[in-house]
Amino acid sequence: MNTEVTVTEHILLHQKKSPHATGQFTGLLYDLILSGKSIAFRVTKAGLLDVLGGTGEINVQGENVQKLDDIANRIMLYRMERCGALCAMSSEEEPDLIRVRPEFPHGDYILIFDPLDGSSNIDVNVNVGTIFSILRRPEGGSGEVTLDEVLQPGWKQVAAGYVLYGPSTMLVLSTGQGVHGFTLDPGVGEFLLSHPDMTIPEQGYIYSVNEGNRQNWDDAAREAVEWFHTAPASNGKNYSARYVGSLVADFHRTLIYGGIYMYPPDRAKPNGKLRLMCEANPLAFLAEQAKGKASDGRMRILDKQPDKLHARTPLFIGSARDVEAVEAIYAKHGR
């Protein structure tokens, strides 16, 4: 493990090659990393502080708000509004677009985030994470940011990543020049480059899906999952099933080992469950940067035009060949 390169050094080295080689963009990443460290500090003390359980509120997605969801959301909003690089933010936990208030310095970037992904796992001490997507305000935009300026397809992301709070805290980041993983050294409080140039194997041996929804899937989704029950995996054996129930953790495993994560649409959720802008897009950006693929079964995730901030999408993401196998099944089933 190369423990000598800090995330700061890495960003500065890559900054030279990046079209977003501005101090503003670098400052944005620093403050995001700081927010991630602050959330990690709260998450790792979750059993000790009075932060387990729900707040009793229901969020804009119709889900129970966990106390740590709320804490993570507030850390992100507070820190990032002050970073000077943003004009607007959107959080999974907030119904509307959040415009940076006039008393804070404004910048050209838009931050979309899921403050705590996998929050139903918090109380059982299973991995959770913060997922983020960074967009640029379209050229020529001035005055108050409009919703249309924010509703951009994922291919326009300038950076994306996540902080995974697991046995160790990891930052996985792409600024469009590959995917790089950093592990937090808690002794010095710094992320160190531990996983340079992460790539997803072309085919994997793990499929990941909540099969409890099977009776509500349509024929294409059933056939796609059935394919992984019977087709030979990359190791010549059967595919193995793994499902954490934290997208960020299931994706992280997929990034390292390959295979596929699936959240198909079902009768109760015709557009699937996952949020396009704060979950699917950033992970799709990472998947493609790591030579994998991300699809909704019929089209590339990064080509989807969001029609609202909290638009949802089916998601099939991971090894290129595994995602292509699903797309072939969907193509056969037509629209």
Which residues fall within 8 angstroms of residue 23, CB to CB, at 6 or more apart? none
CB of 86 to ligand AHG, least distance (A): 21
Residue ranges of the binding site:
92, 114, 116-120, 210, 243, 273, 279
**Of residues 220 and 249, the one with the C-beta less far from Mn ion:** 249
For residue 55, state whether it binds ligand AHG (rule: CB under 6 A): no
Assess 266 for contact with ligand AHG (CB under 6 A).
no
Our CB check for ligand AHG shows the closer of 29 and 116 to be: 116
DSSP code for 186: T
Closest CA to 168 of 56, 257, 40, 294: 40
Residue whose beta carbon is closest to Mn ion: 117
- CA separation for the pair 299, 239 (Å, rounded): 24
SS3 of residue 173 by DSSP? strand
CB 241 within 8 A of CB 233: no
Query: Contact, 111 vs 133, CB < 8 A?
Result: yes
193/225 with CB nearer ligand AHG = 225
Question: According to the binding rule CB under 6 A, does residue 119 interact with ligand AHG?
Answer: yes
- Residue holding tokens 């469950």? 273
What's the min distance (Å) between Cβ of 114 and ligand AHG?
5
**Segment (H or E) for 34:** helix 23-44
3-state DSSP helix/strand/coil percent for the chain, to nearest 5?
Answer: 35, 25, 40
The annotation places the binding site for substrate at 117-120, 210, 243, 273
Give the total of residues touching ligand AHG (CB under 6 A): 13
179 binds ligand AHG (CB under 6 A): no
**Which residues, 192 to 251, sit near ligand AHG by CB under 6 A?**
210, 245-247, 250
Site of interaction with ligand AHG (CB under 6 A): 63, 92, 114, 117-120, 210, 245-247, 250, 273
